[in-house]
Chain A
């Protein structure tokens, strides 16, 4: 299975690399409204994923017959505030999380600093989670139930 994930990740990384989604100039051009490339990519991806997802959920099983489980993302105040913080970072780095890894693979040296920052930011969030939990109405942590 690990090989399948590795293969799908490689394909995904290659497409991000060659499409402009992992390119600093194209990210800025999207936010400056001087290129339709990224809007076209995200729009097309959603326009095809949405009906495909509906069909797979309707079919209800994976290719090997296991029931499809789509975990939903919780809705809370963190969506808006966290999204805004992420948007600032996406603009500054010209990379969202996937392209950080893609840029490292391409040999962009500064992308390593972006990854270090992202890991530090995620680590910081984990460390303050219980303190900001009520402010943002974040869900309770599920730890050690043995369920996976």
Chain B
């Protein structure tokens, strides 16, 4: 199956998994940082939402690394598109377009709603696929095992409901 991005063939999962592991280990060994992306939402919120949750010492002290790391993620995606054949803004959403449609406004509303679940859920669970799924599982943390099982199960249930019941492919 080609990627939505320029119809590229994805790199092998073993190479991708090994690269992610090396980046995770480099982050710890070089800079003493525990991989985690969704905590970065707090760093952004901490500039605009004046509540004590975002004034935590843990948030304030981590901005200086999380914000450049997140900026890197954006640059990484940008470079990937440029090197693959050029950067072009796109609305393409693969099987969503074929099975659900909804138009541009509907797609934005769907994405915003999904984003609300991601933002609220990852903060409540204290992490996402990176902090719990990769780092936490690798560190044998029980909270990460519980969270990972929980988000995998909910993801499977939601996609099965959407694409096998509500909008059949």
Q: Taking beta carbons and an 8 Å cutoff, which residues of A are in contact with B? A: 1-33, 35-50, 52-53, 56, 62-63, 66, 68-76, 78-98, 100-111, 113-127, 129-130, 132, 136, 141-148
**B10 / chain A contacts, CB cutoff of 8 Å:** 18-20, 23, 26, 37
A53 and B138 form a contact (CB under 8 A): yes
14 CB-based A-B contacts, threshold 8 Å: A26-B1, A31-B156, A31-B158, A45-B21, A49-B24, A72-B141, A73-B144, A106-B5, A107-B89, A113-B107, A117-B114, A118-B118, A119-B115, A148-B61
What residue in chain B is nearest A146 (Cβ atoms)? B57
A79 and B125 form a contact (CB under 8 A): yes
B158 and A92 form a contact (CB under 8 A): yes
B123 and A125 form a contact (CB under 8 A): yes
In the complex, the number of residue pairs spanning A and B with C-beta atoms less than 8 Å apart equals 506
Known: A40-B13, A85-B120, A148-B61. A4 touches B30 (CB 8 A): yes
**Nearest 7 interchain pairs by C-beta:** A9-B72, A117-B115, A13-B76, A121-B119, A44-B17, A105-B77, A87-B154
Known: A89-B114, A118-B118. A71 touches B42 (CB 8 A): no
A32 and B115 form a contact (CB under 8 A): no
**A33 / chain B contacts, CB cutoff of 8 Å:** 156
**A70 / chain B contacts, CB cutoff of 8 Å:** 28, 34, 139
A13 and B127 form a contact (CB under 8 A): no
What residue in chain B is nearest A23 (Cβ atoms)? B3
Q: How close is B51's CB to chain A, nearest CB, in angstroms?
A: 5
Query: A7 CA to B76 CA in the complex, in Å?
Result: 9
Q: A75-B142, A97-B122 are in contact. List 12 more A-B contacts (CB 8 A).
A: A6-B69, A17-B77, A18-B3, A23-B94, A47-B17, A48-B21, A79-B125, A92-B162, A96-B130, A108-B93, A119-B41, A146-B57
What residue in chain B is nearest A90 (Cβ atoms)? B155
Known: A41-B13, A53-B138. A122 touches B42 (CB 8 A): yes
B56 and A143 form a contact (CB under 8 A): yes
Kindly supply a per-residue 1/0 record for chain B positions 11-37, scoring 1 wherever the CB is within 8 Å of any chain A CB and 0 otherwise: 101101111111111111111101001
Query: A22 CA to B49 CA in the complex, in Å?
Result: 28
A80 and B68 form a contact (CB under 8 A): no
B45 and A123 form a contact (CB under 8 A): yes
B72 and A110 form a contact (CB under 8 A): no
Query: A95 CA to B147 CA in the complex, in Å?
Result: 17
A121 and B120 form a contact (CB under 8 A): yes
Q: How close is A70's CB to chain B, nearest CB, in angstroms?
A: 6
Q: Which of B23, B108, B124 has the most CB of A within 10 A?
A: B124
Known: A1-B65, A12-B72, A107-B81. A86 touches B13 (CB 8 A): no
